[in-house]
Each structure stands twice: as structure tokens, then as C-alpha cells.
Structure 1
């Protein structure tokens, strides 16, 4: 079997990375994906959470059960997850550290514990795997991913289970999903740090034709409003991208994408477009504006994370303020 070599410095915009792992296949995929970023000068912390067994078995004491064995197994699982991820990052130039969080000693839940660790590490990127089906024991499920996306102090890349990370570094095709909100523009600015002059970039706005906000508003008027907003949004995103020195103007395209009139939604339309275009990364803002639609149908970003077959970068507008060395990054 051919030995993997060090990842060349092509994603140097992110210097402090927290890789969140558990003992699942999804975490194995995330660890392999993290090799893309494991370069010289990068501090990569592998963080695993050992769950507190007491909330998992609240009546154990009444039944005379000893939770010490369960806690020991949970600690062993977390340590094993760290060791396996560390092995996946072998032969890279990054400085790899490890941190085990024992929730039996620390109050809180998984999402808060990982977000606190990222804050303490001054992380500018978090990476985690996620399964598209819930499990009973592991904690990297879609609900944790959604909660962490609200708490994370930096951009976050969600790697789906079964994802096979290419051997080469860098990203060949990055798709940016925008909705005209400050959050989506923050996602454009931060996601652009992953681009090289060879990267193909596609900016899309999904015109949502499948949602009626009121029977009294003609659907054509809503579509016209969405189209106008979309044209402005993708033009602004393209302008921002083309102003960066690591992005080639000729490699940026911008398009409107539409949902079907019935039995469709924004997340599925976006993923269809990403698949047709052969994107290897989707970048979008999370908890941005979708008005009444988000109140009734939940976070589009969360649904994309639960369905995507390729990595998804999630960004909030606050992340732009935290990311250090903006000028030097954009020049890389």
C-alpha cells in the first residue's frame, strides 16, 4: 500500500484547527479530510468527548447499577477515537495535539464542550464528521451538528460519513450558496480562503418556487421578487470573490437555481445543483435569513448538512470578526 505524503501548503488560511471526533466511521472520514489542512505551521487539536453515563441511565442508582464501568468504557472510546484520528494524521507537517473532554467532570453538553474548546484554542476552523442517521451511543449526530453550528466561534466543516477524501490537497470546485444576507457574504469571504488560482467557483441563489407565504400574493410576484433578490445576491458575491488575489475572475460563475413548483425545497435544489456541477465543497451561511420559511421549515443549512454527500462549510457572520490575519490570508 502506497504511503500518503505530507499535504502541500495549499490551504494555509487556517492555522488553528479543532478536529472533533468520536468512535464512529464519520469521524474517520473527518480525520482523513483534515489531512488537507495539516501543514507546517498549523496547530491541529483532536478533541473527543466522553459522555457522562448518568444522564444516559438516570435510574441506574435506583437499580443498584455501578456506572463506573460504563464511564470507563466511554473514556476508552474517546481515547481510542483520538488515537485513530492521530494515526490518520501521521506523516503530516502539522503540530497535532489531543484533548479529551470528560463530561462526568465538566458540566454541559457535547456541543457546548466542543465550542468551549474551540474558543480556548482560538480556533479559526472546526472539522467534524456527521452521520445522516441517528445512533444511540455516538454523539456526532445531526442534532449536535446543528447546535454546534450555532455555538461555534469559527467556521465549521461538516464531513459526511462514507465520504472518501481525495488524495490531492486543495479544492477543485467550490460551490457558494448565498441568500443576500450578511451571513452568506461572511461565508463567501471565509470560504474563499480555500480557493487557489486553479479553483473553479460557482455562486448560486435558490429561487424558492415551492413555498407560498400567502394565498393573497400571486406566486409570479413572489418569484419576481426572489429573482431580483437573487440576481443582486450572486452579483455581490461574485464581486467579492473576483476582488481576491487567490481567485481568478475567469473561474467564477454565478447562476440562479430554482426549486420545482411542488414537492421540493431549497436544500434539495441546492444539492442537485452541487451534484450536477461535481462540487467537492459547499460553502454557506448558517442561521441567516429565510424569513417565515425558516420558522416553519427549520434551518436550510442543517438540512443540507443532513443530506450532503460532500463536505459542507458553515459560517456565521460573527466568524468574520474572529478569523485572524485576513489580509495575509487573502493574499495567499
Structure 2
């Protein structure tokens, strides 16, 4: 089984990691786990100011910060994992990665916003649910 765990560094994504660990421990054969962080693209002007290397470093630092607690939890659980950094809008990027990577399940957290806040701000979880062809486990 292949599980994609969407990470943004929030408490909600930490709960998703804990759920994925529980699922993995319950399986007879350890699943393939991939931690994915989708970082928001920089505005063109900012990216131009930073340059190619500066922009790459910026996204890598964001990725490392978001992954810190997830890495620790998975290492503590003695589970192997790999990581994926994508610079794109999170919802569509997660759905695309899940399908393209032939994952069996996406595990992600939800911040639990009200319906009005989600409608106004957009919800990554809602976008993934509406666009994914892969089953999605939302953890709150």
C-alpha cells in the first residue's frame, strides 16, 4: 500500500501523521509512506529579486520547517518514508500527486474552519476531496 501524507507543519497535519502511523502499524506489511509539502509559489517580482538559487532555498527552508515534526514522529515510530516538495497550490497539487504516484490513500489534516470561512478562504481539504480520484482520509 502507498500512502501520501500531506504536510503543512500545522497541528492538523501532525494529527494526520499520527493517524498514518497508526494505520501503518496495523498493517501486516509496512506501507510506502511519502510526506508531501506543497509550498505556495512566490510572486514573480519576489522570485526575480531572490533569483533562482534564493527562490529554491526559500522553498526548501519552508519544506524543512513544515516537515520537522513529521520526520521526528515517523523516525520515532521506526517507519521508512520519503519526501516530496511541490511548489504549487496545495489542493490540486496533492490530488495530482496522489493520482500520478498511484497512491492508495491520501492522509491529511483539516483545520476545521467554519463553512463560511472555508467558502471565503477556500479549503485545501475540500479541494483535494473534490479533485482526487484516490481515497482521502481527513483528520481533525
Q: TM-score, normalised by structure 2?
A: 0.76
Residue 184 (structure 1) shift = 0.6
The runs of 5 or more residues in structure 1 that have no matched partner are 1-171, 260-264, 317-332
Q: Distance in 1 between the 2:127 and 2:97 partners?
A: 15
The aligned residue for residue 66 of structure 1 is none
The residue that corresponds to 2:63 in the other structure is: 230
Inter-CA distance 287–234: structure 2 relative to 1 (3 Å threshold): same
In the aligned structure 1, how far is the partner of 2:71 from the partner of 2:112? Answer: 19
Aligned counterparts of 2:31 and 2:15: Cα–Cα separation in 1: 19
- Cα 1:232/1:287, change in 2 over 3 Å: same
Cα distance change, pair 280–257 in 1 and its aligned pair in 2 (3 A): same
TM-score by length of 1: 0.35
Give the CA deviation at 1:297: 4.3
**Which residue of 1 is the match for residue 46 of structure 2?**
218
Equivalences for residues 1-332 of structure 1 within 5 A = 172-195=1-24, 196=27, 197-209=29-41, 212=43, 218-219=46-47, 223=55, 224-244=57-77, 247=79, 249=80, 252-259=81-88, 265-287=89-111, 297-316=121-140
Is the CA contact (8 Å cut-off) linking 1:238 and 1:253 kept in structure 2? no
**1:248-288, Cα deviation, whole Å (9 max, x unpaired):** x3xx10121122xxxxx321111121122111000111127
Q: Aligned partners of 2:65, 2:14: CA distance in 1, in Å? A: 12
Q: Secondary structure at the match of 2:133?
A: coil
Whether the 8 Å contact between 2:99 and 2:134 is mirrored in structure 1 is no
Paired residues in the alignment total 128
Structure with the larger RCO, 1 or 2 (CA within 8 Å, 6+ apart): 2
**Shift of residue 229, structure 1, vs aligned partner:** 1.9
Q: Which runs of 5+ in 2 are unaligned?
A: none
Q: In the aligned structure 2, how far is the partner of 1:244 from the partner of 1:288?
A: 27
CA distance in 2, matches of 1:305, 1:295: 15
* DSSP-derived class of the 1:218 partner: helix
Q: Greater CA radius of gyration, 1 or 2?
A: 1
Cα distance, 1:282–1:208 mapped onto 2, change above 3 Å:
same
Q: Secondary structure at the match of 2:134?
A: coil
Q: By how many angstroms is 1:226 displaced?
A: 4.1
User: Quick check: 1:234–1:255 contact (8 Å CA) kept in 2?
Assistant: no
